[in-house]
């Protein structure tokens, strides 16, 4: 029987509760599709600081590199916000991404028909929307040197090399080939040198993909277009900080940030995580929406483990549960028949999975 070794990082705040539900759902589809999953848990973020003194223990780096894929919840919280920057949970996460070499962050934003009323945008503007944001994750201004803050003057450096741009560009073009064959590259080439190189390189690369249409957009315009007419986009490819901002915008096209999964992939391993944070204010209250994490697990099955059928089963179960009016509290105002807590939503999705015959 096929077996996969999955590293688990639950993290802080709502991290543990959402990851537990994703594991429950993974086990249900594994059983149905005749494969097994072995899990090993590692520490990162605030809980790692409290337990080991550092946000990213070496054991976590080793363990995840040796696993087939990593399922990750969320990190951070007020408790650790006043620590020096190098000890903060967020610094641990950035180091983690860098060490794992996960340069491509895929953030799909898909509007489900069942939740078309959940967005603050008009239903006709968003219905049928299906965007894939491809964010460069281990370069750009997040990592550029030099960086400094001496209390009077502070600066960061936005830097990309041609190979870094080509590598993320390829990911975007390849993905577009399996979708609507359109890539929109987002930059600020009217102001920034780094963006000019980005744009020139994307143009050069597009010659290898004559079947994919490449367009360019300045980031300010892209932010506007995402709320004006999101359906014009298929794949958006952009650098680290622009991708961070635009993917949050894209999430509000969908309605709840509690619905958006992500995959961070590279040449060594892959990390699957919801795009939302650790939401310490609602941790333990049972009102968390586990769907973003469960969808991240579905992405893991599809992109890394090649268990496409199992992945489809999860997506189907989520769609059916939503269609039948099951909601967590964040979506309670939108055509809810019954509002479930986090654990009950996980159970409900498993119930649908177990019902399917194939
Ligand atoms: C994200 C988050 C992180 C980022 C933070 C927590 C460092 O906002 O994954 O989008 O900026 O990349
Ligand atoms: Mn973000």
Three-state SS at 58? helix
- Please name the residue whose Cα sits nearest to atom 9 of ligand 1: 275
Three-state SS at 342? helix
- What number does the ligand 1 atom closest to the CA of 90 have? 7
Which ligand is closest in space to the CA of residue 76? 1
Residue ranges of domains in the chain, CATH in brackets: 1-109+256-358 (3.40.718.10), 119-254 (3.40.718.10)
For tokens 């996980």, the residue is: 346
39 sits in which H/E element: strand 35-42
| CA-CA-CA-CA torsion sign (164, 168, 171, 176) | negative
Of 243, 207, 203, residue with least CA distance to 223: 243
User: Which pLDDT score, from 0 to 100, does residue 358 have?
Assistant: 72
Of 66, 71, 46, 68, residue with least CA distance to 57: 46
ipTM of the complex in this document: 0.99
Known binding residue 87? Answer is: yes
Rounded distance between C-alpha atoms, residue 203 and residue 200, angstroms: 5
Q: How far is the CA of 293 from the centre of ligand 1 (A)?
A: 16
β-pairing, 130-136 vs 104-110, is antiparallel
Rounded distance between C-alpha atoms, residue 230 and residue 222, angstroms: 9
User: Which pLDDT score, from 0 to 100, does residue 114 have?
Assistant: 87
β-pairing, 148-149 vs 182-187, is unpaired
In sequence order, what are the residues at sequence separation of 6 or more whose Cβ sits closer than 8 angstroms to the Cβ of residue 54? Answer: 48, 87, 92
Which residue among 99, 103, 160, 188 is the active-site one?
A: 188
Instruction: Render 68-115 in DSSP notation, one character per residue.
Output: SEEEEEE---GGGTTS-GGGSHHHHHHHHHHHHT--EEEEEEE--GGG
Tokens of 265: 């992939």
* Ligand 1 close to Cβ of residue 244 (< 6 A): yes
* Ligand 1 close to Cβ of residue 273 (< 6 A): no
Three-state SS at 208? coil
Tokens of 237: 């490819």
**Are 135 and 238 a contacting pair, CB within 8 Å?**
yes
List, as ranges, residues with CB under 5 A of the ion ligand 2. Answer: 244
**Are 251 and 275 a contacting pair, CB within 8 Å?**
yes
- What number does the ligand 1 atom closest to the CA of 97 have? 12
Active site residue 142: yes
**Are 233 and 184 a contacting pair, CB within 8 Å?**
yes
Percentages of the chain per state (helix, strand, coil), in multiples of 5: 50, 20, 30
Q: How far is the CA of 120 from the centre of ligand 2 (A)?
A: 20
Low-confidence ranges of the chain (pLDDT < 50): none
Q: How far is the CA of 276 from the centre of ligand 2 (A)?
A: 7
């Amino acid at each position: 029987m096929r077996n996969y070794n999955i590293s688990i990082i639950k993290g802080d705040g709502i991290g543990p509760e959402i990851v537990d539900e994703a594991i429950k759902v993974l086990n249900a589809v594994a059983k149905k599709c005749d494969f097994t999953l072995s899990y090993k848990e590692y520490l990162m973020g605030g809980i790692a600081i409290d337990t080991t003194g550092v946000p990213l223990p070496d054991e976590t780096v080793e363990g995840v590199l040796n696993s087939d894929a990593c399922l990750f919840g969320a990190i951070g919280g007020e408790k650790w916000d006043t620590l020096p920057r190098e000890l903060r949970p967020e610094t641990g996460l950035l180091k983690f991404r860098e060490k794992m070499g996960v340069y491509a962050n895929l953030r799909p934003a898909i509007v489900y028909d069942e939740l078309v009323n959940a967005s603050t945008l008009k239903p006709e503007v968003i219905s049928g929307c299906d965007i894939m944001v491809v964010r460069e994750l281990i370069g750009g201004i997040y990592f550029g040197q030099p960086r400094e803050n001496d209390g009077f003057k502070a600066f960061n450096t936005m830097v990309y090399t041609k190979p870094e741009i080509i590598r993320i560009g390829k990911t975007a073009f390849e993905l577009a080939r399996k979708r609507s064959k359109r890539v929109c590259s987002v930059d600020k080439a009217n102001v920034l040198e780094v963006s000019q190189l980005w744009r020139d390189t994307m143009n050069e690369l597009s010659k290898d993909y004559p079947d994919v249409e490449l367009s360019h957009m300045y980031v300010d315009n892209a932010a506007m277009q995402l709320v004006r007419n999101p359906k014009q986009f298929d794949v958006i490819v952009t650098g680290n900080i622009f991708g961070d901002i635009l993917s949050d915008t894209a999430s509000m096209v969908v309605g709840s940030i509690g619905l958006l999964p992500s995959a961070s992939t590279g040449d060594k391993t892959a990390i699957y995580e919801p795009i939302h944070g650790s939401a310490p204010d609602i941790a333990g209250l049972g009102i968390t929406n586990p769907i973003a994490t469960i969808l991240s697990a579905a992405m893991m099955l599809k992109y890394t483990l090649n268990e496409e059928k199992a992945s489809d089963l999860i997506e189907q179960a989520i769609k059916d549960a939503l269609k039948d009016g099951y909601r967590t509290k964040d979506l309670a105002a939108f055509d809810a028949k019954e509002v479930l807590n986090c654990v009950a939503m996980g159970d409900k999705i498993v119930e649908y999975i177990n019902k399917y015959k194939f």
